[in-house]
Structure 1
Amino acid sequence: MTEPTERTDAERTATERTDAERADAELYDAELYHAELADAELADAELADAGLADAGLADAELADAGLADAGLADAERVGLSVVIPAYNEEARLGPTLDAVTRYLADNESRFGCWEVIVSDDGSTDGTREVAALAHPRVRLVTADRNRGKGNALRLGVAATAGARVLVTDADLAAPIEELERLDKALSEGNAAAIGSRAVPGAEIADHQHPLRELLGRAGNLLIRATAVPGLRDTQCGFKLFDGDLAREAFAASRLDGWGIDVEVLQRLHRADHPIAEVPVRWSHQPGSKVGPLDYPRVLGDLVLLRLRRLRPADLLVTALFLVLSVALYAHRFFDPGHRYLIDSIQDQNQWEWFFAVTADNLAHLRNPLFSDLQNFPDGVNLMANTVMLGMSVPFAPLTLLAGPAVSLSVCMALGLAATAVAWYWLIVKRVVRHRGAAFVGAALAAFAPPMVSHANAHPNFVILFMIPLLVDRALRLATGARVRRDGIVLGVLTAYQVFLGEEPLLLAALGMALFAVAYAAVRPDVAKAALRPLGMGLLVAGAVCLPLVAFPLYWQFTGPQSYHSVLHGDNAGNSPLSLLAFAERSLLFGDAARANELSLNPTEQNAFYGWPLVLLAFAIAVRLWERPLVKALAFTSLAAAVLSLGPKIRIPLTDTVYPGPWALVRKFPLFESVIEGRVAMICAPALGVLLAVFLEKVLSTQRIGTLYAGLLAVALALLPIVPAPLKATPREPVPAFITSGAWKSYVGRGESLVPLPLPDPGAAEALHWQTAADLGFTMPGGYFNGPYGADRIGIYGAVPRYTSDMLRDVRYTGKVPVIGRNWRAQAKQDFAYWKAGVLVVAPQPNDDKLRQAVTALTGKPGKWTGGVWVWDLHEGS
């Protein structure tokens, strides 16, 4: 990644800049560069298409248009050009032209020689005749057909010759006399001055209908937030521009509708041209052609405009990432309701329940931060569990329509592809221009072995598209250009990431901190220049983020069923060997036995980058060590790898144990709940960027031998870690007792259905029963994080009770204890605590022993119905 203050290097001439400096310096905003290049290449063609050629810009055509007759053949003498777009304005145009020409004629000493251009957008009434009969200095340009205000303005501004260009609507809602205020603002060094109805000092003589005004303000607020931050009124049709900048900006515009106002201001804003917002007098005029629905249309136009600027290579990369994501989930993606990711253990059941309960809470207007559907009657603090409200809420309609299995499957596939695209965007924008190099780097960042491992059923560690956006915004802050705006955006993005996953956010912050420390060490001048704006921006971001997340975090840490931390034991770090080994899902070298020996389980294979990639990364660091970026990336990767080894590092093949650096932070708040092996996931994007830098260097060489050797080295490093599709097996069917609704006759109001043994992190199929029954019943137990004991330490699953523990032991051991009066009394208490209406034992290992134990506890035999054994606790009560 580059840092903003390296723009001083970018100011050197191309002949002075070395290849190393070219890669490290932030000498371009790739997105803006490509957009402006495309604009320059397409401007002539699109203007011709828009009818500009027909409007006539050649000298002879200018004479035909009346410019010579108006005495304006010498374009340099024109001080002010007024452009009035018109479509079927026969009734209003005449009085407007009279007012404008009279005012300009009376103030020629101030504004100099002037011209008025009426740009007719294919009117079908007498608009053209009105313009033709007006003042001699009024010229008419026409479009061949009606295309919109944007097309009319583009034609009109292109025909101007003034040092300044005023754009005003045909209704003259802002009186022409207000030009003096705008002219004064332009004289103070601004590139544009826009008449505003929303800043102090503005006067509104005649308001619109209150509902129309409210909708207009809401639409304008949305436009301001997404397109031109900082400007309060983008749509007032009274704007004064520097003439050259206006002709350049309008010529490069693409929108034909009235969204061109936003597009032109956005261009000036992005190019850092100052824009003044000037209060004006304004009155609503009847016959407005702008409706409330036009505001969302403008946003849609801007989105489409953005998409049109994408290169074909970018679209191809997006499609490839989507194909790769679907291929990874191929064994489940096309039939998610009947296929189960076996390596997810019980996590797929848990996550489908999270999506289902979120949608159910929203549909019934219940608190989305809590549910008692599992762990009844105590319930589950959903904010203290990784329900990913940032995804489960927007996917709620799909969940309600197609079910949580489909919703989760689509969400994870799209989320993984979006994450890869986001890394690609960041690498192209900040690091390399070569699309192929960026694609390879982003593919490693998103599809590295740790990510594939978590792709089994940890969407919070797969859907990481916000992380590259956070990195980019932090880099913007370091430039000091727009600290307040970038700080606000960073705060909003951070708040959203909180609802996607707090642990990934913590790890991302740790990774960025490691990179920042390393870069500051090699470029202290850059660090010193960036420190103040970065610090101020982070304060702004915190001030924006905290109010947005304050209540959810308060609920998470102090609400019902909250807990203090989750203990993972002393062995949650990676083995040093796991950094060099291959993951289970490695297509060529996957070894499930070896991978599971070096990891907690198949979903926590958090390293496994393979020795060829580690060796290549070392070689790249040595070869390109002179680059500050490479040094920082190498340090970040190495530091994250070492931290991931945990608080105690065991030297392989020995009994020697050394304290690891993670011991320094393991007891800090938040860090105490992190599975330290996951810190190695930071290496994925760091290695991806490092690989992109190397590939661009290789692909730019003129030496065939070097090119082949470099590409071969990359291929040999990446091929061993190419992932195979995730394993999926046919899903265990839900018993007919549940799917048929037979359970309803056994469970009364306020009662629960009790699967035995209780569902827990090791066996949570009952959560699938619950989602299959549309969450119609509650049940005790479950798979979640909740509190235990007076210290409220976080544990997985419900607080153990005697009966639940005993029945779980029976399931796993097949041994039934002697059940007498004490056990029956305890079971009665536990059943009452769970408010049990019916006990259910499904076919499972040692189910005969379970039936024996439950019969002894209840004093009556179970009934076989709907594929399960049931004990109705209402009978004989």
Structure 2
Amino acid sequence: MEDGSAVAVLDRTVPKTVAPVRSRQQRVAHRLRLARADLFVATGYLSLAVLVLSGQWLNTNRGYLIKSGQDQTMWEWFFAVTAHKVANLENPLGTGLQNYPDGVNMMANTAMFGVGVPLTPVTLLFGPTVTFVLVLTLGLFGTAFAWYWLFSRELVTSKFAAAVGGVFCGFAPAMISHANAHPNFVLLALLPLIALQLIRITRSANTHKVRGASRSGLSGAGERSGGAEGGKNETPAPRTRRSEAEANKHSTRPERSGGQIKHSFILGLLISLQIALGEEPLLIFALSFGLFALVYYLHAPRTGLRALRGLTPTLLLAGVITVALTEIPLWWQFFGPQSYRSIDHGPMNNDLEALFQFPSESLGGMFQHGQNVAINPTEENSYFGWPLLLLVAMTTVFMWRERVVRAAALIIVSFTVLSLGANLMIGKHNTGISLPWKHLEDVPLLNSVLESRFTMAAIPAIAVILAMGTQRALEYWRISAVDWRPLAWFGALTLALLPLTPTILPVVQRPATPAFFADGTVRQYVSHGSVVIAPPPTPPDARALRWQTDADFQFPLAGGYFVGPTGTEKKGRYGPDDRPTASLLIRAQQANKVPVIDDAARAQALADLRYWQADVVVLPPTDNGDALRLTVDQLLGFPAQQVDGVWLWDVRGLLSA
């Protein structure tokens, strides 16, 4: 029987040891110590998450994460509409409150029903901004702790080593960047739980496992990394004094169908919940975990095939359960009103320089950010910094014999290369060098992923290497207090992670909602039609969604910020289809000049207002407002009136004539 000590995980030259038999009282005390460690780690993660978002927490009334662009407004609207629908017992999967009269397919817009629905009371009582920042905070904390839980149960024996891996998973540069605006890429706590369930299914499905033999993270036992196969070989004390032969006989019995159904149901439920939180992270995780498992079993293909045969029935049943739980929302997403087949983002790749630079919201970024090569402030999906990449590379070389490390290293390399897009960019210069993504960017499902986000698959892979390196250093220290290697490791780890320490995300004061909406005056001007803002809201300016929320959704809006179909091919696009009048108003505002208005423009304006089923056109305080007001005056043929801080044109009589 192979040794199962933590020392053997890290250095196979260490003498083999056997775990001592503990009494019941000792086992209880041991569990309490572990629970205290878990609580301490959880408290640290939660405190850090609150600190990062403290600027928003201190001002949930008018505070706004400035780097979010218009995304915070969009997400707050999603949460607010979901709560409004649930409170009124209406279908939350679609709504006509923006993009009137066509509406919006909420399921196709990552509305995060998995948190929006259960947090309805929070949204109704405290407002959507509180829900938004709460989801972001719980996302950072929950993602970190869930990965810590997986690492501490299945990868390493040291809680500290697992905590190092967990903190990187939860607070990596990409996570902090997305915490400005994208809760669907921050709340990723279910992904490690899915991984844990897959490991447990693999373990239970392997009917050839022998109790006490070598156990490994994705092998038949699914335990911690180490031993002859790269897994931790723990030798647990049996609860009875039965012989090893009896234990082996028991362990080779096939799992009962009830256990298989239980595993399938848990896995199906976890996947269904993740679909309700975000499908794009789930797709990236599935691809990376599948590649990890493939590489992990390359050295022993027969073992891998045996595990796959045992795993397949449970996975198929889990798939059936997932479909049963999600078939209605998924049908609505892909075939319901305002659904679309794919969305063309255009090139959204990482620049090679981004891999080695420090993120903007970090200690390193405060002093040495380098050239700005990110897509936008919310998509700093790599920015690992050269010290961390150097440490990971060196650790991989020294621990190459560990197959978990080999698999993790391949994930880092593969998904980082995919994130670089179809052509290699260095310092915003297109080198013309073709990359693998060029052959994958038109593959269904993949064609809707921002390729820059593929580096997020490298985050848990890097964390695995950091956790295992920390475990090895601690074990060397346990053997010899004067060993220089632990000091070297922790010094290098500090130099790698300290520059990536996140700073508090910047928050500004958003302008107050115009009294016309906040005081409810708008209700006097809306019969059964829509409110048309001049110009209608678009992704670059979605403030009107906030005004609609503050007016308690008493009216629908023309235009908006969402993803919907366009053209006969039903390709997705951000914002509504261009209407001629909306485009004219946008040009007038940008040029700060009244365009030439002829009879054709006036006729088109009336046609567009009829299409929007408009009751009133509203011009709130905005840039170049005088040019907009005069333009609308000429389009409609009568001047605006000022009411509660806005200019408005009541067009109900005009359109009914």
- TM-score tier by shorter-chain length is 0.7 to 0.9
Matches within 5 A, 1:48-127: none
Residue 273 of structure 1 corresponds to which residue in structure 2? Answer: none
Residue 297 of structure 2 corresponds to which residue in structure 1? Answer: 520
> Which residue identity does 2:95 align to in structure 1?
S
Shift of the alpha carbon at 1:41? 1.9
Deviations 1:34-83 (A, max 9, x none): 9x96954267x9xxxxxxxxxxxxxxxxxxxxxxxxxxxxxxxxxxxxxx
> Which residue identity does 1:397 align to in structure 2?
P
> Which residue identity does 1:826 align to in structure 2?
Q
TM-score if structure 1 supplies the norm length? 0.65
2: distance between equivalents of 1:564 and 1:693? Answer: 42
1:797 aligned residue (545, 555, 575):
575
Shift of the alpha carbon at 1:338? 1.1
Q: Structure 1 residue 495 and structure 2 residue 219: aligned?
A: no
SS of match in other structure, 1:557: helix
Residue 734 of structure 1 corresponds to which residue in structure 2? Answer: 513
CA gap of 1:778–1:637, structure 2 versus 1, over 3 A, is same
CA gap of 1:22–1:558, structure 2 versus 1, over 3 A, is farther
1: distance between equivalents of 2:434 and 2:41? Answer: 44
SS of match in other structure, 1:602: coil
Residue 712 of structure 1 corresponds to which residue in structure 2? Answer: 491
Structure index of larger Rg: 1
Residue 314 of structure 2 corresponds to which residue in structure 1? Answer: 537
Matches within 5 A, 1:357-756: 357-479=81-203, 480=205, 482-569=259-346, 571-590=347-366, 594=370, 597-650=372-425, 655-701=430-476, 702=480, 703-748=482-527, 750-756=528-534
Residue 2 of structure 2 corresponds to which residue in structure 1? Answer: 12
Deviations 1:187-226 (A, max 9, x none): xxxxxxxxxxxxxxxxxxxxxxxxxxxxxxxxxxxxxxxx
2: distance between equivalents of 1:782 and 1:590? Answer: 35
SS of match in other structure, 2:508: strand
Conserved? CA contact 1:737–1:743, under 8 Å: yes
Deviations 1:513-538 (A, max 9, x none): 22112212234343133111222222
Matches within 5 A, 1:38-57: 39-41=24-26
Conserved? CA contact 2:405–2:464, under 8 Å: no
Shift of the alpha carbon at 1:461? 0.3
SS of match in other structure, 2:652: coil
2: distance between equivalents of 1:359 and 1:845? Answer: 32
Conserved? CA contact 2:539–2:575, under 8 Å: yes
1:828 aligned residue (586, 606, 610):
606
Conserved? CA contact 1:395–1:411, under 8 Å: no
CA gap of 1:343–1:411, structure 2 versus 1, over 3 A, is same
Query: What percent of counterpart residues are identical?
Result: 41
Shift of the alpha carbon at 1:665? 2.4
Shift of the alpha carbon at 1:19? 3.1
Shift of the alpha carbon at 1:642? 0.5
Residue 289 of structure 1 corresponds to which residue in structure 2? Answer: none
1: distance between equivalents of 2:44 and 2:115? Answer: 23
Conserved? CA contact 1:574–1:677, under 8 Å: yes
2: distance between equivalents of 1:684 and 1:794? Answer: 29
CA gap of 1:692–1:42, structure 2 versus 1, over 3 A, is closer
Conserved? CA contact 2:202–2:310, under 8 Å: yes
Deviations 1:341-391 (A, max 9, x none): 010000000000000111111111111100000001110001111100001
Conserved? CA contact 1:446–1:684, under 8 Å: no
Residue 639 of structure 2 corresponds to which residue in structure 1? Answer: 861
SS of match in other structure, 1:603: coil
1:330 aligned residue (48, 54, 57):
54
The root-mean-square deviation of aligned C-alpha atoms, in Å, is: 2.4
Deviations 1:760-801 (A, max 9, x none): 110000000011111111111000000001111100011110
Residue 840 of structure 1 corresponds to which residue in structure 2? Answer: 618
Deviations 1:389-440 (A, max 9, x none): 0010000111111111112211221222111110110010111111111111
Shift of the alpha carbon at 1:15? 8.1
Residue 231 of structure 2 corresponds to which residue in structure 1? Answer: none
SS of match in other structure, 1:656: strand
1:313 aligned residue (34, 37, 41):
37
1: distance between equivalents of 2:568 and 2:27? Answer: 69
SS of match in other structure, 2:291: helix
Conserved? CA contact 2:351–2:428, under 8 Å: no
2: distance between equivalents of 1:780 and 1:37? Answer: 69
1: distance between equivalents of 2:105 and 2:11? Answer: 51
Shift of the alpha carbon at 1:16? 12
Shift of the alpha carbon at 1:654? 6.4
> Which residue identity does 1:846 align to in structure 2?
N
**Which ranges of structure 2 fall in alignment gaps of 5 or more residues?**
206-254
Residue 67 of structure 2 corresponds to which residue in structure 1? Answer: 343
Deviations 1:144-169 (A, max 9, x none): xxxxxxxxxxxxxxxxxxxxxxxxxx
Q: Which has the higher contact order (CA 8 A, sep 6+)?
A: 2
CA gap of 1:572–1:15, structure 2 versus 1, over 3 A, is closer
2: distance between equivalents of 1:320 and 1:391? Answer: 23
Deviations 1:158-188 (A, max 9, x none): xxxxxxxxxxxxxxxxxxxxxxxxxxxxxxx
2: distance between equivalents of 1:322 and 1:790? Answer: 48
2: distance between equivalents of 1:792 and 1:866? Answer: 41
CA gap of 1:37–1:548, structure 2 versus 1, over 3 A, is farther
Shift of the alpha carbon at 1:652? 5.6
